[in-house]
Structure formats: structure tokens, C-alpha cells
Amino acid sequence: MELLLNQVLAGIATGAIYACMALAVVMIYQAIDHLNFAQGEMAMFSTFIAWQLLQWGVPYWGAFVITLALSFAGGIVIERALFKPLGNAPVLTHVAGFIALFAIINSVAGLTWDFTIKQFPSPFGSSPFLGSQLISTHQAGMIGVTLVLLLLLYFFFQFTRIGLAMRAAAAQPESARLVGINTSWMIALGWGMAAAIGSIAGMLIAPVVFLEPNMMGGVLIYGFAAAVLGGLSSPFGAVVGGFLVGIFENLAGTYIPGVGNELKLPIALALIVTVLVVKPTGLFGRAIVKRV
Amino acid sequence: MSFSSSKLAVLSAAALLFAASSHGALAQKKYDPGVTDTEIKIGNVEAYSGPASAYGVIGKTEEAYFRMINEQGGINGRKINFISYDDAYSPPKTVEQVRKLIESDEVFLVFNALGTPTQTAVQKYHNVKKVPQLFVATGASKWNDPKEFPWTMGFQPSYRVEARIFAKYILKEKPNAKVAVFYANDDFGKDYLAGLKDVFGGNSSKLIVAEESYETSEPSIDAHIVKLKDTGADVFVNISTPKFAAQAIKKMAELQWKPMHLMTDVSISIGAVMKPAGLDASEGVLSAGYLKDASDSQWDGDEGMKKFKAFLDKYMPGANIADTNLVYGYTAAQTMVQVLKMSGNDLTRANVMKQAASIKDFAADALLPGIKINTSATDFAPIEQLQMMRFTRGKWELFGEIISAETGG
């Protein structure tokens, strides 16, 4: 019983990592209708920027805000410079672009900051949370930040003009243009926001997994799994999906004989495939009906 | 009878003549492809990109070291031309690059090429072509096989050797230990596990209460540590690469789990593992090592370390001294230069292999005091000694004697 509780708690703690990343994945999916394979690397790069600022003596929250702003701008620049020209190119061209971006960012980070792991501070400390050794204050803080982020996104998309405009641009580009929404800039904005959310995810994940150029590799796959499980169109679903994947992965690894540890990653991938086959919209996603 | 004795006389005269002429040739220099009066071409393949790109630093350090040697006048007047290609840690690419080095660049030998799977892919090729595959940069035990592969030689102590040393230590300190083994699910981790079991023998199943593996693709290994703590083990053998080793140390401190903690020498860098994990959390961790750690202040006054740091300042300014790959590359390059010096003007591939197999008590700058490089015609494992150490107040404190361990195949 204790082991079960421990594994569930540990699962929630890792689930928070996936949830954070899944939020960024959903964000970009909302804006461009694709998954961005370079999302994790962008988050990693942002985290390195924050680390560099901290090394230069900038206080934590100062570095946090500057990184957020730089990442937002960086996301927009990438869209304007790389993906706008691709415009109406087929999906495969975009995928190739994402993969190229992935490799470039990864190598540049390695070249600049080398591959040794770096410690990244947590604003929440790492003492036991409420007496539980299984969840540290950092992990609790991470869950808190994820939920706040989720709330902010909800309000943004439901109640702000620009949020509504972004949704319109993604769902009905043509109608949106007709009512005077600049859809092209909405996409750029989506990139910027995804990059900014990714940078928060990176800064929260780094204290747990340590900062290095390859830190997001595994995280992104689980983030995808979480986003698909929760529904690619639902930020709420992404967060729930993140926690579920974290718990599911731990319990399967502990209790299903034969699955063990060697099949932990395949579990995430199997989950993606299963959800796509059984319920393509995920748990909370909305079915998209296209008139032909 | 007389016929055969006269034949014998002719033969011995011929042999004498041959000996004289070959002696003359020795004095007049003897070269294989890749060597001229002014140059020695040395090839190398390294993972400069891809999943193992962290090791790329080794190649860069070696390049810098040879640059220093060249600026100091080279070896017997010959400059080293170091040609290093990227194989991205991908065996098919390794085959392509090594072929290019040997067939088109015509290097004299390939030195300290990186990776067990990658170098396995070219081992036969090297031995068929009779081009030395010298000081392979991997900890697998299979490179020490002079009978089958006379043109291949390893370098560092094999994982299996270290694991045996750990197992012996556990048996001595805690004969009734409950051992939890945490290992990377690849050749490195499995070689290690095998080493432990070599020593535990029939008692393995009794002593080892948990074997938990992880995949390098996992973002965080926290859940494994939670599970292992639950087994009630009082000895924790940590066979993981630096990032995961640091995660394990940190998580164990958070869980307040304090078993006897033995950690592989792959992950003992103070700057790259212990500091990020937290110096307090790292207190008491045990390991075995053979190199000095440049980020450990106890070597600040050490002659060898001073030389190493002077080299870094001049040839690799800005390098991160916490990176153990720097010390490793430096030591390998220094050993290479030693072998080339020993070869004199007889720069044939056969002679270089012969010299590499007759290193006696070579104490490279960055090896721990007392650890020496020794090879022979039947021993192709240059470094076979390690010393146990304990992490105490931010430093690795060496203890016990220097332990030699033969891999026994």
C-alpha cells in the first residue's frame, strides 16, 4: 500500500513535468495545427538563457522575466524568418523544418554551454512538502505554477479579444480574415506564446532533471503523449493528461510484470497510438468537423 | 650431410646479411604509410554530434595537445597531423569515416576512437588491414584480446574491473549486504552488473535484492529511486551516466535514504556531478578512480595538474575544468606521444604496436599517484589500476591501496 501511494505521488511529481510541456505543445497546436518537434529544444535553449543571466548575477525573478520576454520574441522571430516563408508548403516540409530546427538549436546550445550538466535553482527550494518526502516544495510549486498557467490561458482564450481572435484564426482562417483579423500575425503570436510557456516549463523542469542540451529529449515525447491523451485542442486536457501519464507510467512499471522498466518509454508511445485509434480527440478535446 | 651443412652456412650468411641490412634500415628510418620525415598522420573518429556529443571534448583536447607538441618541435622533428572526423556515435558512419581515414587520408594509425558499438564495427577491418586501432576510448573489456585482435588495444580500466573491485569491497565491509543495483540498460550497465556477479558468484541472488534498469531516454529517474528505497536495501550500486547519477544523489537526499552508495567512475566529476547534485547530498558516496579531477582543489599543488592546467590556459582557454573528458583526452594524447617517442625512427605500424605493448610504469600527468600504465605482448589493457575513494567535504578522499585487477577476459 505504501509503495502504491509512493508511486502515485512520484507519478504526480513527474506528471507535473509532462503537464508543463504538454501545455506548450497544445499552445502551438492551437496556433498552427501541427506539433512542433523543436518545442523541447526551444524550451531548453530558453532555460540556458535564464541560466546564463543567473551566472551574470541577475536575480532569479529578473532572469525569469527577461527569459520570458526573450523567448516570446524568439518564438516570433523563428516564425517570421523560418515558417512564414514556408507558408502553404505541405506538412512534410514543415516537419523537415521542425527537425532541422531541433538539430540546430541542440548543437548551438552544446557548442555555447557544453554538455556537462548544470544546476538550475528553484524558487521554491527542495525541502519536503508538508512533511512528505516524496514531493518536494519545488515539485509542489511546479504543480501550482502549471495550474496558474492553465487558468491564465483559459481566461486569455475565453475572455480577451486577442485570445478570441487567435482561436478564430486557427479554427476558421478565412472567416477570421473577413472580419479583419490578421491571421498571419496570430500565428506568429501563437509561436511566441508557445515559446514563452516552453521557457517556463524548461525553468521548472531543469531543477529536477538538471540543465543540459539533451534534457528535453525524453520530456517532449511524454509531453506529446500527455497532450494527445488530454486532447490536443484542450489546455485543461493537456494538464490532466500530463498527470495521468506520469502516474500510469509509474504504476505500469511497478505492477505489470514483464513491462518493467525496459518498456516505460514504449508505454508512452503505445498510449499515443491507442488514444489516436480509440478516441482521436483525446479525453477533453473537441471534435473538429470540417465541411467539405 | 655436407650438402645440408653448406646449405645451412648459406642460410646463416643470408640471415646475417638480412640482419645487417635491416639494422641499417633502422638507422636510416623506416616508414609505413602516413609517416614522412616531417609528419605523422594520426586518424581519429569522435562523436562531435549526436547523442554522445558530450564526448566530443576528448577529440578537441587531443587536437589541442598535439598542437602543443607540434609547437614544441614535434616528435623527433615530425609534426603530428591529427585528422579527426565526426561519426555521430553511429556505427555505419564510423565504418565510412575509418575507411576514409585509412584508404584516402592514409593515416599511420587510428588513435583513441570513441565508443563500444562504433569501434566494434571497425575492429575486424583494422585487423585485416593491419592498421593499429590504438587506445580505443571505451570501458568495455573486450579490447584486451591480443591473440584474436593484435592490432587493437584499449585504454582505460574496463567497467568489469571496477565492478569487481566494488563487489570485493561490499563483501569485506558488509558480508550480509542487501544490494540494490541501479544500472543503465546498455552495454555499459550490463558489463558492470556482470562484474558484480563475477565476484558474488552463487550468492548473487541472495545478496542482490533488486536490479533496476533505466533508459537514457527517461527524463527523470526519481521513480526508480523511490522503488529501490522500498526494497530495504542497505547498499546502493549506482551505475549511471553523469546526469542520472546526479539525479539519484539528489533524490536519495530528498528521501533521506542513506545506504552505502557506490558509484561508477564514469560519474565522479565534482564539477559536473557532485556540485550540481549538492555537496551535502553527495557526502559519503564511494567510488574508484584512476584520474585526477581538475575541479578537485586537493590537486592544486600537484605537478602533473599544474602542467595540465597550464596546457588548458594556453591551448583551450575557457574550457570547463569540471569536464572529466578533458583530463581523459590529455592523458590519452600524452600516452600516444610517449609511444611515438619510444618508436624512434622505426615508424612502422608493426613497431608502433610493439612499442604500445611494451609500456613500462608510465606515470602520465593526470593519473592518480601510484597508478601507472603497463602493457605487454599478452596484456593489451594499459590502465588496470584503481583506487577506492570517498566523497568527503567536497573532495574525493582516496583510501586503501591501489588495487590492480585483471579482467581475465
Q: Position of cell 492553465?
A: A150
Examine the pLDDT at A218 and tell me if it is beyond 90.
no
Mean pLDDT calculated for residue range B202-230: 88
The predicted structure's pLDDT at residue B20: 47
CA atoms of B118 and A173, how far apart (whole Å) = 50
The predicted structure's pLDDT at residue B345: 92
Q: What is the pLDDT of residues B88-146, one digit of tens each?
A: 888 999 999 999 999 999 999 999 999 888 999 999 999 999 999 999 998 888 898 99
The predicted structure's pLDDT at residue B358: 94
Q: Position of cell 565492478?
A: B163
Query: Grid coordinates representing A27?
Result: 499552445
For domain B159-289+389-398, give the fold. Rossmann fold (3.40.50)
How many angstroms separate the CA of residue A61 from the nearest CA in chain B? 21
The predicted structure's pLDDT at residue A198: 93
A52 inside 8 A of chain B by CB: no
CA atoms of A24 and B344, how far apart (whole Å) = 62
Residue B283 vs residue A284, higher pLDDT = B283
Examine the pLDDT at A11 and tell me if it is beyond 80.
yes
pLDDT category of residue B14 using cuts at 50, 70 and 90: low
Mean pLDDT calculated for residue range B9-20: 53
pLDDT category of residue A6 using cuts at 50, 70 and 90: confident
**Rounded percentage of chain A residues whose pLDDT exceeds 70:** 93
* CA B339 centroid distance within chain: 16
The predicted structure's pLDDT at residue A195: 94
Q: CB-CB: which of A6, A119, A265 is closest to B226? A: A6
Q: Check if B28-157+300-378 and B159-289+389-398 are the same fold.
A: yes
| Residues whose CB falls within 8 Å of the CB of residue A189, separated by 6 or more in sequence, listed in order | A31, A76, A162, A166
Lowest mean pLDDT of A24-38, A123-137, B242-256, B266-280, name the range: A123-137
CA atoms of A83 and A42, how far apart (whole Å) = 15
CA atoms of B245 and B55, how far apart (whole Å) = 17
CA atoms of B59 and A27, how far apart (whole Å) = 41
The predicted structure's pLDDT at residue B88: 86
The predicted structure's pLDDT at residue B196: 93
- The answer, yes or no, to whether ipTM is higher than 0.85 is no
Among A210, A171, A199, A157, residue whose Cα is nearest residue A42: A199
* Contact (CB<8Å) B217/A265: yes
* Contact (CB<8Å) A210/B247: yes
Q: What is the pLDDT of residues A165-181, one digit of tens each?
A: 988 888 788 888 899 98
B36 inside 8 A of chain A by CB: no
Query: Grid coordinates representing A236?
Result: 485543461
Mean pLDDT calculated for residue range B31-58: 89
B202 inside 8 A of chain A by CB: no
* CA B281 centroid distance within chain: 28
A31 inside 8 A of chain B by CB: no
Q: What is the 3-state secondary structure (H, E, C) of A67-115?
A: HHHHHHHHHHHHHHHHHHHHCCCCHHHHHHHHHHHHHHHHHHHHHHHCC
Among B116, B129, B11, B146, residue whose Cα is nearest residue B55: B116
Residue B403 vs residue B178, higher pLDDT = B178
Is B28-157+300-378 in CATH node 3.30.1490.20?
no
Examine the pLDDT at B272 and tell me if it is beyond 50.
yes
CA atoms of B120 and B115, how far apart (whole Å) = 8
The per-residue pLDDT of chain B, averaged, comes to 89
B297 inside 8 A of chain A by CB: no
Residue boundaries of the structural domains of chain B:
28-157+300-378, 159-289+389-398
The predicted structure's pLDDT at residue B26: 47
Residue boundaries of the structural domains of chain A:
15-218
Q: What is the pLDDT of residues B134-150, one digit of tens each?
A: 999 988 888 989 999 99
DSSP state of B286: E
